[in-house]
Structure 1
Amino acid sequence: MVPIATSTITSSGFEPAGFFLPDLFNDCCYPLRMNPRSHRVSRASEQWLFNEAHVSEPEIAKLRAIRASDLIAYSYPNADASHLRIPLDFLYWAFKLDDYLDGHGVDDARAMHLIAWAMRECCISALRDPINFQMDNPAGKICKSIFSRFIETASPGCTKQFIHTFDLFFIAASKEADNHAKGHNHNLESYTTLRWDLSGCKSFFVFIKYAARMDLPDEVVSHPMIMAMEDATNDFISWSNDICSYNKEQSDCDTYSNLIAVLMHERGLDLQGAADYSGKLCKSVIQRFEDSHATLPSWGEEVDKQVAIYIQGLQDLMVGSLHWYFDSARYFGKDGQTVKQDRFIKLLPQRPL
């Protein structure tokens, strides 16, 4: 179920100049850690991407400004260089894929549904047979490059889970494009359910286990409290991302898949009211995470140690992504640290369609 939050419905007869961010850092106060190996891993990953995806200026400068390596360094602070490299390669590729699948209006939605499904067939084929898979499609070739290195040290459980979660992303992306084409408007519950897969977080949950070189037993992976903590982590990362990306997306006239826009439409909230409501939702899922953590059973000393590492990894993902939104130029340009301090977002003008 979607957590309950309260908000005052407000309205105004003019377009707002901006809105204040909720105090997300007060609610997500886990310690921020950073992997000291990220700098040299970043250089190698960037060069790999630029070569594999045939990236040239000015896109190179744009990708570097994203500071993807910081997000991965925050998320996997204890990983060795080789186990840090795979999530970073995957993230760089995911950004390129996300930018390609996003930013399309209703007129393009039907085409994007077909494109997302075709991309799924290509990429999942590469994951299921990375040795024999052959295709000229750059997306498939990049998937093959990442996954062939991933399986060198990944456990059987991690391998299976990674393929499954990546497939869920493509299915969700295709469904979202189809929903958009049909003019379907989300409510909070339907949006949350789809966002769990569309966010891509589930693949990065797998990387926690991959980076720690562990394979949790099935009884742990499928335990309701572990799954509840994963859902809470997914909600926090997805919803805080929606809050921070709203300005960029409204400027691109592409707020269809954004929590703030969903709340404005469903609840009749103005922009500030929807932002405040979103912040309360984020606070509620942190509490849900902690409540689930407090009720975990014991599986024995050795398994409990692995579970503790996994839970720490979920916390690292939440706090690391939150700090990264303001470090990266992806959402706030060069103003991230000012926005982080003042918490005010001045709305960008909308670009012509």
Structure 2
Amino acid sequence: MQSQPKKFILPDLVSHCTFTLHCSRHRRRITGETKQWLFRGDNLTGRARDKYHGLKAGLLTAMCYPDAAYPQLRLCNDFLTYLFHLDNLSDDMDNRGTRSVATVVLNSLYHPRIYSPERIGKMTRDYFRRMIATASPGSQQRFIETFDFFFQSVTQQALDRAAGVIPDLESYIALRRDTSGCKPCWALIEYANNLDIPDEVMDHPIVRNLGEAANDLVTWSNDIFSYNVEQSKGDTHNMIPVVMAQEGLDLQSAVDFVGDMCKQSIDRFIEEQEHLPSWGPKIDADLAIYIGGLADWIVGSLHWSFDTERYFGKNGRQVKATRVVDLLPRRTSSS
């Protein structure tokens, strides 16, 4: 009988990504103010507060929206912090629980001026009212639609988890592009940079392909970085166990397989840009800012993954340098 591996080696995605890393000067300010916003009137104490500080969402926001003015950056950080909060909630929910949260959130987005007693509804209305003050109608619509897709997909994820289903790779990729929550964050690139790009441009196949390539890199690399924590909890909604099951690979081979897919998504992102048509000077300039925002997400998320304590605890810097991950033991139901 083959013994379980004790460690695995991460692919070198940081070196493969040659985009320049930027960071907003407003990082400290948004971190402090979002913290007050998140904890306002809440009983988050002890481990929940420690989790927030270890998350370092303000750093992720500052690196992914580096050119945003302070009010826009602050809203983006509120949303990202809230999205991680929702993700933590959905990890512990069945499909009925995710549906009830989805109902509150989506009602808050579609009817932002109606009072909601639920805290998650109040938070949703609060950031969305600020967003619609300056966001273009197209980016507002894309934000709501893609957030709706997010909830549909996490509901399906909850059903799969309850049934112990490991989907095939193609089905998993389609679902993961929505469970990642990246698509609403792409709408926030438009908002953060005060862009008003016509719908027909945003719907162009090459522009969609660029968003998809960025989503794939952020999402698949996240599956690699989060695998250790997730396997310790027995969670199989991750590309690595999907690939192990479908391709019959051991852990390291599956990590390498997904790592190659990540590198190909970066290459795909660069290649797609060479085929962009022109829509005239103004639209082309705005679109270049949007595509630059996708590149900021690619490079920012890669570096942030080693700064946050979400995946490697306080050992992120060491893991970034060595790329060696020691496998955590499986948790028992009581731990």
1:293 corresponding residue in structure 2: 273
Which shifted more, 21-30 or 179-188? 179-188
Aligned residue for 1:19, secondary structure, equals strand
Is 1:73 matched with 2:62? yes
Matches of 1:146 and 1:303, distance apart in 2: 27
1:3 corresponding residue in structure 2: none
Matches of 1:299 and 1:182, distance apart in 2: 48
Matches of 1:215 and 1:53, distance apart in 2: 36
Query: Is the contact between residue 8 and residue 325 of structure 2 (CA under 8 Å) also seen in structure 1?
Result: yes
Aligned residue for 1:142, secondary structure, equals helix
**1:211 partner letter:** A
**2:188 partner letter:** F
Encode CA deviations 1:217-243: one digit per residue, 9 max, x unaligned.
Answer: 112111000111111111000000000
Matches of 1:113 and 1:61, distance apart in 2: 28
Matches of 1:62 and 1:119, distance apart in 2: 21
Aligned residue for 1:345, secondary structure, equals strand
Encode CA deviations 1:38-75: one digit per residue, 9 max, x unaligned.
Answer: 11121111111011543223321221111100000000
1:329 corresponding residue in structure 2: 309
Deviation at residue 215 of structure 1 after TM alignment: 1.4
Q: 1:211 aligns with which of 192, 209, 218?
A: 192
Aligned residue for 2:276, secondary structure, equals coil
Is 1:83 matched with 2:52? no
TM-score, normalised on structure 1?
0.92
Is 1:160 matched with 2:141? yes
2:38 corresponding residue in structure 1: 49
What is the aligned residue count? 333
Encode CA deviations 1:124-152: one digit per residue, 9 max, x unaligned.
Answer: 100111112x2222111111111111111
Is 1:122 matched with 2:115? no
Matches of 1:42 and 1:186, distance apart in 2: 37
User: What residue ranges of structure 2 are gaps of 5+ in the alignment?
Assistant: none
Query: Is the contact between residue 52 and residue 142 of structure 1 (CA under 8 Å) also seen in structure 2?
Result: no
Query: Is the contact between residue 166 and residue 237 of structure 2 (CA under 8 Å) also seen in structure 1?
Result: no
Encode CA deviations 1:2-54: one digit per residue, 9 max, x unaligned.
Answer: xxxxxxxxxx8110011000011122221100000111121111111011543
Matches of 1:181 and 1:343, distance apart in 2: 33
Encode CA deviations 1:308-352: one digit per residue, 9 max, x unaligned.
Answer: 001100000010000000001111011000000000000011110
Is 1:257 matched with 2:237? yes
Matches of 2:293 and 2:237, distance apart in 1: 27
Matches of 1:118 and 1:62, distance apart in 2: 24
Query: Is the contact between residue 236 and residue 282 of structure 1 (CA under 8 Å) also seen in structure 2?
Result: yes
Q: 1:59 aligns with which of 48, 54, 59?
A: 48
Runs of 4+ in 1 over 4 A off after TM superposition: none
Matches of 1:121 and 1:98, distance apart in 2: 16
Cα RMSD of the aligned pairs, angstroms, is 1.2
Matches of 1:185 and 1:41, distance apart in 2: 39
Matches of 2:60 and 2:209, distance apart in 1: 23
Is 1:15 matched with 2:4? yes
1:140 corresponding residue in structure 2: 121
Matches of 1:19 and 1:37, distance apart in 2: 36
Matches of 2:41 and 2:187, distance apart in 1: 24
Q: 1:40 aligns with which of 25, 29, 41?
A: 29
Q: 1:320 aligns with which of 293, 300, 308?
A: 300
